[in-house]
């Protein structure tokens, strides 16, 4: 389990620790890159939105089995608005939006996304493709 605090520099540090630990450290480059994008977007969303009123803990669990990475992320911040993760419709490129890409990236890359809120804890689970690197 990797713990961090819901603010950008702690998220950067927690993500760095995750990328350099099993199972992520052993993944093929392409899958490792996908995992870094998805985890960064989810963790930074928690820092920005769930903890918009103040910092709190984020806990990350990662497991690997049969070509999939299983991820579970918990925080104790505000619940997802409407009780479910955003649909993530991407901004049109020509509009030159400076935000709104995060959930589009997450939904483009992650599968089996499940969110629940219980006893003040947000729990987000999902899987990612994850082949282990050869050699």
Partner 1 sequence: MPLKASMQGTTLVIRALDDRIDAAGAIQFKEQMRDLTATPSARVILDLSNVQFLDSSGLGAVVAVMKLLAPQRKLELAGLTPTVEKVFRLTRMDTVFTIHAGVDQGLRQVG
**Positions that interact with partner 1 (CB under 8 A):** 8-9, 11-12, 29-30, 33-34, 36-37, 40-41, 44, 47-48, 90-91, 93-94, 96-99, 101-102, 104-105, 108-109
Q: 37 vs 117, which CB is nearer to partner 1?
A: 37
- Rounded least distance, CB 119 to partner 1, Å: 28
What is the secondary structure of 10-72 as a DSSP string?
HHHHHHHHHHTSTTGGGB-HHHHHHHHHHHHHHHHHIIIIITTTS--EEEEEEEEETTEEEEE
User: CA 93 to CA 75: how far, in whole Å?
Assistant: 32
Q: 12 vs 17, which CB is nearer to partner 1?
A: 12
- Cα distances (Å, whole numbers) of residue 26 to 2, 17, 19, 62: 17, 13, 9, 13
- Rounded least distance, CB 63 to partner 1, Å: 23
- Rounded least distance, CB 97 to partner 1, Å: 7
- Rounded least distance, CB 99 to partner 1, Å: 5
């Amino acid at each position: 389990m990797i713990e961090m605090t819901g603010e950008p520099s702690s998220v950067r540090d927690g993500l760095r620790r995750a990328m350099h630990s099993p199972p992520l450290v052993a993944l093929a480059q392409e899958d490792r890159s996908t995992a870094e994008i998805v985890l960064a977007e989810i963790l930074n969303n928690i820092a920005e939105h769930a903890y918009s009123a103040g910092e709190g803990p984020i806990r990350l669990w990662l497991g690997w089995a049969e070509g999939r990475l299983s991820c579970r992320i918990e925080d104790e911040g505000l619940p997802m608005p409407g009780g479910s993760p955003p649909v993530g419709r991407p901004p049109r490129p020509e509009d030159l939006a400076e935000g709104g890409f995060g959930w589009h990236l997450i939904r483009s890359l992650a599968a089996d996304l499940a969110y629940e809120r219980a006893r003040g804890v947000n729990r987000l689970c999902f899987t990612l493709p994850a082949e282990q690197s050869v050699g």
